[in-house]
Structure 1
Amino acid sequence: MSASPEGVEAAGPGAGDLVLSFQRSFFTMGRMDSLPLPELEERLKNSDDSTLIQHILQQTVLHPLCNKYPPSVKYRRLFLAELIKKHEMTGAEPLDDLYDALGEVLRSEELKMCHKNYFLLSGENIRLGENVAIISEGTTGLVTWEAAQFFAEWAMENSEVFNCRSILELGSGIGLVGITICKTCTPKQYIFSDCHPNVLQQLRTNILSNGLLLDSDTWNAKDCEVEVKNKYVSEENQGPEITVIGLDWSEVTQEQVELQPDIIIATDVIYDPEVVLCLVSVLEKFLISNERKEQGSVVYLASTVRNPETYHQFKMELDKVGIGHQVIPGPTRKIFPYNRCTEIELLKIVFAHHL
C-alpha cells in the first residue's frame, strides 16, 4: 500500500513521495491544510501534464481501499474540490476522471460512520471506524483525537517501554493507541477501557478489523460491563492478552483497582474541571494499589492543551495527593498527518518519591 505507484515517477523526480503524502493524509482524513497542496501547485506550474493529478486520484478516491473503507462523504468532496481547483489553475484540458469522481461523491449518502486508515512505516495498516460527528450520542469517544496520534507515534519510537508489560488504557475511545501498541510493540497484556457502551462496541469492532481475534462470549456492550477474564488474543496466540472492560472513573471497583497494571496510559482526557477530579482520584487509587509492587506503576498521559487553566488544575490536583509528574520529550518521527502546531504535552506520572 505504501509503495510508490507504478509509473508515477514519469511525473517528475519525487512525485512518488508527493502522491504518498496525499494518500496518507486522505485516508486519515487529514485537515485540508495538512495536504501538500503548495508543492502540488508548484509542480503543476511547470507542467501542463495531468499525469500527477491522475496518480493522486488513483491512489486516493479511486483506490480500492476507499471503495471498501471510505472517508466521509464531506471529506471526499472537499478533497476532490481542492484537486479540481489546482488542476483548473493549469489551464489544461478538463480531467474527466476528476469530475466523474466528484459526481459520484455528490450522489453518495453521508453515513453515520466513516473510516480512517493509518499507514505505519512498517507497512502495516491500522483501520478505524469512527463517527462522522465530533460529539455523538453524548460522547467524544467515537472519534480519534490528535494526542492519541501523538502518543501512538511516541509508543512506536519507544517500544521497549512496553516490552513484556501489562498496560491499562483509560478512555481508550475507538482504540488507535492500544491497537498501535498491540501491533507494533510487545506488551504482555493490554486492557482497553471506556465507560460508554457505544464506544466499547465500536472499540471491539475496531480490534477485530485489525486482525486481533476475540472470544466474545462474556462481552456485554449493553450494560457496559466486561469480565476481566474475557481475553482477546491475536492469531495463533502470539500477541498480548487483550481485554476490554467498562470502567467508569466515578465508580471504580476494588476488582478493577486490583488489576495492578505496570503502565497506565491516557490521551486527551483532560478537558473538563469535573473530569480532572475523577481522573486524579482514579490514578491515585491505581498507584496506591500498585505501590506494593517492586517498581510500582507508571502513568503516561498525553494532552492537547486546549484550556491552560484546566490543565494547570490537573497538575495542581496531582501535587495535592503526592503524585509527581514530569514533562518528557514527544515523538521525533512524523507518521500521522495531524497538526504539528497543536500544543500537545506528554507527562510521566508516578508517586513523587519515585521520580
Structure 2
Amino acid sequence: METDGNGSMEESRSKLLLYLKLAFLAMEPSNCLLSLAIEAGGGCITQQVQNFIVKECFAKNMKETTMNNQAYIKGILKKVIANVESSSVCAEDCLYEELAHYLTIGGPPEENNIIYREISFLSSDLDGKDCSNSVNLVAALRCSSNMLEGDTGCSLWPSSLFLSEVILSHPEMFSNKSCFEVGSGVGLVGIALSHVGASKVTLTDGDMSSLANMKANLELNKLCLDVASDPMHPCAQKVECRHLAWELASKAELQDQRPDIVLGADIIYNPECIPDLVRVFSILLDNDSFGEDKREAPSAYIATVIRNLDTFNYFLTVAGKSMLSVVDVTAKTQVPNLLPYMRSYDRSSVHLLRVSLLSE
C-alpha cells in the first residue's frame, strides 16, 4: 500500500475498508472480498479488519436479505477464517460465532433463487474527500441467483452497470428528458435515470417474470408505481413499467411514447431478435412520425458487450438497412469508475453505442 505518511496510510486504509463493505453488500465473489480484506490489512486480514467485517458488513444485512443471502455469507466467513488460520494472525472469536449463527439458522425454501444486492455508486471525486460521504447512489436490487436456468432478465449484467455509470456521470444529458429503456431487466438503469432527474422513465421488458421483479425493485428503492394509491408521490407520474415484446409491439404503441432518449443494455445477443429490435428503435427514433409535435430528434444509447462478432455485425447490417446510424462513442465519453470496489466488473469489455436515425 503506497502512502505519503501516516495520514495518507490512514486515508488509504479507510477507502479500502469502505470498498470491502460495499463489495460485500454488492455480493462480489469471495476472491474479490479476500483481496480487499488483505489489502486493507496491509498484507493480511488483521484483527481490526476481521472485526470490521463482522460489525460493518454482516450488521448491515436486513432480516429478509440475510435469509436469502446466507449461503453467500457462510461462504465468505469460511474463506476469511481459512485465510486467517493459514497466516500468523490470530482469528477473532466473533468470526467463529458469526459462522456458527449462520450454520444453525434455517435457509430459504429450495425453490427460492432470489438474492439481494446493494450497488453503491461512488462520487467521481472520491480522492481527497471524506469516504463516509462518498456514496452518490445506492440501488437495492432483488436478483436471481440462477440465471443459467433462464432468469437472465433478473440478473445484473456489466452493460447495465456501465450505462448507469454513464447516466450518473453525465446527468445533464438525461435530466428533464423523457427516457425509454428497451429490455430493462432488474431496473438499475431506471433507478439511475430517476436519480438524475429524468422527467419521465419508462422501463420495458418482454418477459413477465422479469417485469414483476423489476417492479419489486422499484418499490424496494421507494420509486412509487401505484399512482392510484399515492398520486402525490413525486415518482407517481415519473416511473412506469410496461410489458414490451419486440416482435408484437405495434407502430402506434411505440409512437405514443415520444421519448427524448432511448436506452438499452445488453440487448444485442440473439440474431433472431435483431430485426424486431431494430424495428422498435427505428420507430422510437423517428421524429417525423410525431406529426406536428416537432422537437429535437430523439437519440439512443446502447451499452453492450460484444460476445459474438457475427451477431454484432448482423445488428450493424440490419440497422444500416433501416437507416440507423450506429457510432461507437465509448472512447469519446468520459466515464469515471464509480464502482471501483467491484473487481469482478470488467468495464473495459463494454461498448457504448450512439444510435440515431439518418436523415434522408
TM-score scaled by length of structure 2: 0.81
Q: In the alignment, residue 307 of structure 1 is paired with which amino acid?
A: N
Distance 2:32 2:48 in 1: 22
Which of 60, 66, 69 is 2:65 aligned to?
69
| Maintained 8 Å contact 2:227/2:237 | no
Closer, same or farther: CA 166–81 of 1 in aligned 2, 3 Å? same
Distance 2:338 2:54 in 1: 22
Gaps of 5+ in 1: 1-8, 218-230
1:127 and 2:140 aligned = yes
* 1:138-162 superposed Cα distances (whole Å, 9 cap, x missing partner): 4411111111001101100111111
Q: In the alignment, residue 113 of structure 1 is paired with which amino acid?
A: I
Distance 1:83 1:278 in 2: 48
Distance 1:350 1:291 in 2: 15
**What is the CA distance between 1:192 and its match in structure 2?**
0.8
Specify the SS of the correspondent of 2:147. Answer: coil
Closer, same or farther: CA 194–50 of 1 in aligned 2, 3 Å? same
**What is the CA distance between 1:313 and its match in structure 2?**
1.4
1:104 and 2:110 aligned = no
The residue aligned with 2:355 is: 349
Distance 2:191 2:53 in 1: 28
| Maintained 8 Å contact 2:16/2:36 | no
1:244 and 2:241 aligned = yes
Distance 1:214 1:187 in 2: 16
Distance 2:206 2:188 in 1: 17
TM-score scaled by length of structure 1: 0.82
Distance 2:289 2:349 in 1: 32
Of residues 124-133 and 24-33 in structure 1, the stretch that sits farther from structure 2 once superposed is 24-33
The residue aligned with 1:3 is: none
| Maintained 8 Å contact 1:232/1:243 | no
Closer, same or farther: CA 156–142 of 1 in aligned 2, 3 Å? same
The residue aligned with 2:157 is: 145
Q: In the alignment, residue 134 of structure 1 is paired with which amino acid?
A: M
1:83 and 2:80 aligned = yes
Which of 205, 210, 219 is 1:199 aligned to?
210
**What is the CA distance between 1:326 and its match in structure 2?**
0.9
Specify the SS of the correspondent of 2:355. Answer: strand
The residue aligned with 2:282 is: 284
The residue aligned with 1:312 is: 313
Task: Report percent identity of matched pairs.
Answer: 21
The residue aligned with 2:132 is: none
**What is the CA distance between 1:19 and its match in structure 2?**
1.4
Distance 1:251 1:66 in 2: 40
1:290-329 maps to which residues of 2 (within 5 A)? 292=290, 293-329=294-330
1:16-27 maps to which residues of 2 (within 5 A)? 16-27=14-25
Specify the SS of the correspondent of 2:71. Answer: helix
| Maintained 8 Å contact 1:170/1:264 | yes
- How well do the aligned residues superpose, as a CA RMSD in angstroms? 2.8
Q: In the alignment, residue 192 of structure 2 is paired with which amino acid?
A: T
Q: In the alignment, residue 98 of structure 1 is paired with which amino acid?
A: L
Q: How many residues align?
A: 327
Specify the SS of the correspondent of 2:84. Answer: helix
Closer, same or farther: CA 120–45 of 1 in aligned 2, 3 Å? closer
Of residues 150-159 and 199-208 in structure 1, the stretch that sits farther from structure 2 once superposed is 199-208
Distance 1:140 1:99 in 2: 35
Distance 1:280 1:190 in 2: 21
Closer, same or farther: CA 194–56 of 1 in aligned 2, 3 Å? same
